[in-house]
Amino acid sequence: MPKQETEILDDVIVRNRRKMLTIGGIALAGFVLPTVLSKDAYAATTYSDSDILNFALNLEFLEANYYYLSAFGCTIDKPNAAAIAAGAPSGGIPITGSVGTPGTVSAMGSSSTGTPFTTIQVSSYAVETAIEEGKHVLFLQSALGSSAVAQPSISLDVSTWSALAQAAGVIPSGGAFTPYDTDDDFLVGAYVFEDVGVTAYHGAAPLLTMSANLSAAAGILSVEAYHAGLIRTAINAADPTGTSIAAYTTKISALRAALALAASPTTLSGAAANPYDTNPDDYGVTTFTTPSGLGGGAAVTATRITDADQTNVVAFARTTTQVLNIVTGSGAVKNNAVVSPATGIFFPAGLNAGPNGFK
Amino acid sequence: MDKLKEIIEKTFSRRRFIAAAGGVAAASTVVGLTGCGGSSPHSPVTTTPTGGKFTDTDVLNFALNLEYLEAQFYLYAATGKGLSSADTAAPSGYAGSYTEGTVTAGSAAMVAGTNTQQQDIINEIAYEEQQHVRFLRSALGSSAVPMPSIDLSFFGPLAMTAGITGPTFNPFSSFDYFLVGAFIFEDVGVTAYAGAAPLISAAGVTAGYLTAASGILAVEAYHAAYIRTAITANAIAAGSASAYPYFTAANQVAALRATLTVGNSGAPSTATGNNGAPGSSSSVETALTLPTSKTQASAIVAADPTNAVGFARNVNQVLHVVYGSPTVGTAKGGFFPNGVSSIFATTTA
């Protein structure tokens, strides 16, 4: 046992090395699709690990640009002095790729200083997360090599954020919201992304065929969950009684859950219930009463730093269609049928994906 | 306590070079075998690898041992009592050889002096770890191992070995001490699941084990993020590390964890093993940072500094931490006075 186990881990270790993680041109005819995912209606049956990692890359472009704009006031490809001082690559993060022309990022306007944070806590979280999400872009680009897609067009401007905030009921119809004004606003903006990232990597992990890719995905999954836990902790600290931004999180989670349900395998095809059909699959940062007691004792009130199902406390997973429906604001499903390419909200022109990819 | 420290230091200095060198050699061999494309399919990870036998059940039972430990710690912190006997006994129909152990509570008790918000946090983590025990036991059915013996009084010796000064370390004496106690476990839980996920067989993937394991991995990372964020935020609010000594204590724990696994069998994120210095390119630890201006980054996420990909620990590395021993061949100790109830109980590297 010991030797074999070590060998397996060494195998993972070595193939997990960045320069080893090139997967272009690999035949994946032997791909074993977990049965629970076979109903993902529009996914081509011939998709590869590259397609899955490119789907993740699109999401990382979105996240990284949001955090760069918040922390530094620039996009990932054009780092300013503040970004470089914090550790951003001085030449910028590449946004070119083998599929698609690099899209632009529409943001909040002419500000080049980022969010005017008032606390060191929230500001340092933004800086840390920006650098880490930027590294995820670079890591996936490195792993994909010549297969990496270009950055899609991304909208992070006031119209997008306002539409989202209105849909969630965070602001009244016709109101305006951007996450670039205050510490609290930044946290709300970050909240929109982070748990989605967790569910996306969680949903994708079992689809990957190569153990090195699986290890990498598991590692990024853990980082996304750290980010999500960080944001939820900060929101809980800022609003422990759930009267302001914590209340928003409940509305945002409800919106995400509704968009996920509309794109769930059962909704789309009448497939038997599976782990991706959990509804709701999202909870805001509020207290709840535990469904069962602690030890032999009674039920208790608890916070909800963790976004997971209440019984087994396993984080939620979403299919690519569900994730697309969330990040495009219901662009992936119309009348119970999948729409591809999905466009809207953060991705006005859709994602960049190869012929068998996810968009 | 001093003895433990002595053992660690001796072993560390003597074995470090040899073990690290061995790690390099092993890794190099694998490079030669797999080539540069990294194109092997998932097949190396099967239920019965050539030359060795472990099953998905073994992997999940190893995780269950860790969940028993975490659940007992958090439940005592939340309520002053541990898991109910229904959650620790051998399941109906259990045919394995392990027997149910006991908990050495030591000074374990409800964490003193918490406010409502803090109590709700402890309640959350306690509930969630308890449910992980139940979930894994349910998934394993009659194959689930009963709870091994657990020693919650090991925090004191561990803290002393880490160099945490002041009164005897007791994670139940205040919320701040609780945070440091939780810090000992949380990143380890994350890395253990990250290390275990690729061990699950293809059949196990189809059966949903990988989805379950990665879902629990995410929850452990949520918990770890809470602990790291709370400690960091409190230190920033206090203005300096000396004004919030729990910050320094947490980093001493991280350094000790690294020392305990030094040179042992190679961190999965590296080819050369863990050199014991948190934050270095070959470590599986990320020390907390204390930003003193708005342009500095926090270090909430524990991940490799190059790619920001979360760390993984293999079973040996996990055992070195929870046994509190860097010695190869150790089968018990630390939080598990009789060892974990697992075929992986003895450290082999």
pLDDT tens digits along B133-160: 999 999 999 999 999 999 999 998 999 8
| Residues of chain B contacting residue A232, judged by C-beta atoms under 8 Å apart | 222, 226
Q: pLDDT band at B208, cuts 50/70/90?
A: confident
Are A211 and B44 in contact by the 8 Å Cβ rule? The answer is: yes
pLDDT tens digits along A44-62: 457 889 999 999 999 999 9
Which residues sit opposite A333 in a β-bridge?
A338
In this predicted model, which residue has the larger pLDDT, B276 or B43?
B276
Q: Tell me which of A77-91, A273-287, B77-91, B218-232 is least confident.
A: A273-287
Long-range contacts of A310-313 (CB under 8 A, 24+ apart): A311/B131, A311/B135, A312/B131, A312/B132, A312/B134, A312/B135, A312/B212, A313/B127, A313/B128, A313/B131, A313/B132, A313/B135, A313/B216, A313/B219
In this predicted model, which residue has the larger pLDDT, B197 or A127?
A127
Residue A11 pLDDT more than 50? no
What distance in Å separates the CA atoms of residue B22 and residue B266, rounded to the nearest whole number? 9
pLDDT tens digits along B221-249: 999 999 999 999 999 999 999 999 999 99
Class of residue A317 by CB neighbours under 10 A (exposed 0-12, middle 13-18, buried 19+)? buried
For chain A, the average pLDDT equals 84
Which residue of chain B has the CA closest to A1?
B52
pLDDT tens digits along B266-291: 443 333 334 444 445 557 788 999 99
ipTM given for this complex: 0.86
Query: Mean of the pLDDT values across residues B90-114?
Result: 96
Residue B40 pLDDT more than 50? no
Cβ partners under 8 Å of residue B21, min gap 6: none
What distance in Å separates the CA atoms of residue B208 and residue B214, rounded to the nearest whole number? 10
> Taking the domains of chain B in order of start, what are their residue ranges?
2-9+55-228+253-258+312-323
Q: Would you say the pTM of this structure is higher than 0.90?
A: no
In this predicted model, which residue has the larger pLDDT, A118 or A277?
A118
Residue A33 pLDDT more than 80? no
Yes or no, beta carbons of A275 and B208 under 8 Å apart: yes
Residue A16 pLDDT more than 60? no
Q: pLDDT band at B202, cuts 50/70/90?
A: confident
Query: Mean of the pLDDT values across residues A185-196?
Result: 92
- What is the reported pLDDT for B187? 82
Query: Mean of the pLDDT values across residues B81-101?
Result: 97
Yes or no, beta carbons of A9 and B292 under 8 Å apart: no
Restricting to B residues 265-284, those with a Cβ less than 8 Å away from any Cβ of A are 265-271
Cβ partners under 8 Å of residue A212, min gap 6: A12, A15, A16, A20, A21, B38
Q: Which percentage of chain A shows pLDDT scores above 90?
A: 69
Residue B263 pLDDT more than 70? no
Q: pLDDT band at B317, cuts 50/70/90?
A: confident
Give B2 to chain A, closest Cα distance, Å. Answer: 31
Yes or no, beta carbons of A303 and B83 under 8 Å apart: no
Task: Closest CB to A205: pick one of B214, B291, B309.
Answer: B214
Restricting to A residues 101-120, those with a Cβ less than 8 Å away from any Cβ of B are 117, 119-120
pLDDT tens digits along A154-163: 999 999 999 9
Q: pLDDT band at B312, cuts 50/70/90?
A: confident
| Residues of chain A contacting residue B195, judged by C-beta atoms under 8 Å apart | 9
Dihedral over Cα of A234, A239, A244, A246: its sign: positive
Task: Closest CB to B38: pick one of A2, A6, A20.
Answer: A20
